[in-house]
Every structure is written in C-alpha cells, then in structure tokens.
Amino acid sequence: MLEGLHRQLEETKKERDGYIAFEREVKKKLDKEGKDKEGGGGQEEKEAMKRIEKLKAEEIEATKQLREAEKEYEALQEELAELEREEKALEEEEAEFWTQYSTLSTTTAKLSDQLTSLEHAHAFNSLELAKLSRTNVYNDAFCIGHEGGYGTINGLRLGKGPNVEWSEINAAWGMTVLLLSTIARKVGFVFESWRLVPMGSFSRIEKLGSDKASYE
C-alpha cells in the first residue's frame, strides 16, 4: 500500500512539474510578443493554471494519505514487534516448561525405581519376618527329646546308665540349667531361694539364705 501511494505521489509531482514548465514557456512567449491578441494562448495559460492548481491539490491530498498510511504502517510495525516479543516470551516459557517436564520425568522415574526397590525389600523382609515368627529360637538352641529311655537335650542324655558317662550327664545338666536360666530371664521370673549358675559342664544351683548349699 505504501509503495503504491509513493508511486502515485511521484507521478503527480512529475505531472505538476510538466505543467509548471509549460506555464513558464507560455509566459515567455507572451512577454516576447508583448500583446494579447492571441486569445488562444491566454486560454491555454488559464487552463494550465487550473490544471496546476488541481495537481497541487491532488499532491496535498496524496501527501496527506501518504502520511496517514505511514502512521498506520508504523503502528502495524509496532504491533508486529509486540507480537514477536510475545511469541519469543511464549517460546521461552515453552522451553522452560519442557525443561521442567524433563527434569520432573527423570525425578519421577528415579522415585519409581526407588519405590519398586523398597517394595521388593519390604516383601522380602515380610517373608523373612514371617519365617522368624514361625521359628522358636528355644527349639533351635535347646533341642529336647529322648533316646533309649533317656531324656536328651541337644543330643546329650540325662540319666546314669551303663553306656552313659558322667561327662555327658554333666554337660546335659549344664544345658538344662542354661535353659532354665534363660526362660526365667525371658519371663522375668526371680528365684527366691535358689540361684542358677550356668557354666557348661560345671553348672550349679546355689541355695540362698543362711542355709547355703550348692549342687553341681
């Protein structure tokens, strides 16, 4: 649009300049002859003047339109620049969003892996706890049974016989004292008149009070 208005203004100026040059030639001619008998020349001059005035008015109007068009163009340029700034800001916001999204996705994936690992560890620990809950530590530490008419603890026979040595009996009674002492401590039981002294094959039971005695 601006290019067309500029072209129209230039054409109007050229046409105006042509009529002005023509007017000058007519005036020269009239001054040289020094008379007005050639009415045609005067009529041509009047018509040229009218045309020049018209061209001047057209030039003023074209210039006015050009100025208005330039103002509109500047406003459009400013609006376009503002839109470009907004577009750039939106692009930066979008880039920041995708950066944060990528970081969040990475963090979420790590947390998901950690959660999965914790869930597996929890499941494993739950199974182990269930196994331990079903396990009686006393049964493992003090296996009580019998063998050929003899009571046994951890395979050691309790009772004198032809094939049972005193060392085995002492060891068995030592395990028995240890078991009894362990159970008493576990349940918080305190013997009032006796004290258990578990010392393996040399374990003993001591009587408390004035009438002290010791049984090994």
Give the pLDDT confidence of 18-70 residue by residue, as tens digits. 666 666 666 666 666 554 444 445 676 677 677 778 777 877 887 788 788 88
pLDDT confidence bin for 109, thresholds 50/70/90: very high
Label each residue of the chain as H, E or C.
CHHHHHHHHHHHHHHHHHHHHHHHHHHHHHHHHCCCCCHHHHHHHHHHHHHHHHHHHHHHHHHHHHHHHHHHHHHHHHHHHHHHHHHHHHHHHHHHHHHHHHHHHHHHHHHHHHHHHHHHHHHHHHHHHHHHHCCCHHHHHCCEEEECCEEEECCEEECCECCECHHHHHHHHHHHHHHHHHHHHHHCCCCCCEEEECCHHHCEEEECCCCCEEEC
Quote the pLDDT of residue 159. Answer: 83
Report the distance separating Cα 117 and Cα 112, nearest Å: 9
Q: Tens digit of pLDDT for each residue in 72-108?
A: 888 888 988 999 999 999 999 999 999 999 999 999 9
Report the distance separating Cα 180 and Cα 146, nearest Å: 18
CB under 8 Å, gap of 24 or more: what pairs does 101-105 form? none
Single pTM value for the model:
0.38
Q: Summarize the confidence of residues 130-156 as an average pLDDT.
A: 79
Taking the alpha carbons at both ends of the chain, their separation in whole angstroms is: 124
Please report, rounded to a whole number, the percentage of residues in the chain having pLDDT higher than 90.
21
Q: Give the mean pLDDT of the chain.
A: 80
